[in-house]
Structure 1
Amino acid sequence: MSEKNSGGTQSARERLQQQRQRDKAREKQRRVLIVSAAVVGVLGLAAVVGVIAANSGGKDSSDKAGPVVAPTGAIGGDKPAIPQGRPDAPSTLAIWEDFRCPACAQFENFFRDTIHELEASGAVKAEYHLATLIDGNMGGSGSLRAANAAACAQDAGKFTQYHDVLYINQPQETDDAYAKNDKLIELAAKVPGLDTPAFRTCVEDGTHDAWVKKSNDAFKASEFTGTPSVLLNGESIFPSKGNEQISVENLKKWVAEANKGKKAGTASPAAGSAAR
Structure 2
Amino acid sequence: MFARLSETFSPSPQPSPRGGEGENGGGGSGWGQHGSGTVTLVGAGPGDPDLLTVAAVKALAAAEVVLYDALVGDGILDLAHPKAERICVGKRSGRHSLPQGEINALIAFHARRGKRVVRLKGGDPMVFGRAGEEIAHLDSLGIPVRVVPGITAALGCAASAGLSLTMRGVSRAVTFVTAHGRDGERFEPDWARLADPQGTLAIYMGREQARAVGQGLTGAGLPAATPVLAVENGCRPDERRQWTTLGEMAEQGVAAGKGPTLLLVGEALRPRQVGTADALAGTADAIDLRALGDLGQRFDHD
Identify whether the pair has TM-score above 0.5, normalized to the shorter chain.
no
The structure that is helix-richer by fraction is 1
Q: Which has the higher contact order (CA 8 A, sep 6+)?
A: 1
Q: Under a length normalisation based on structure 2, what TM-score does the superposition of the two structures give?
A: 0.23
The structure that is strand-richer by fraction is 2
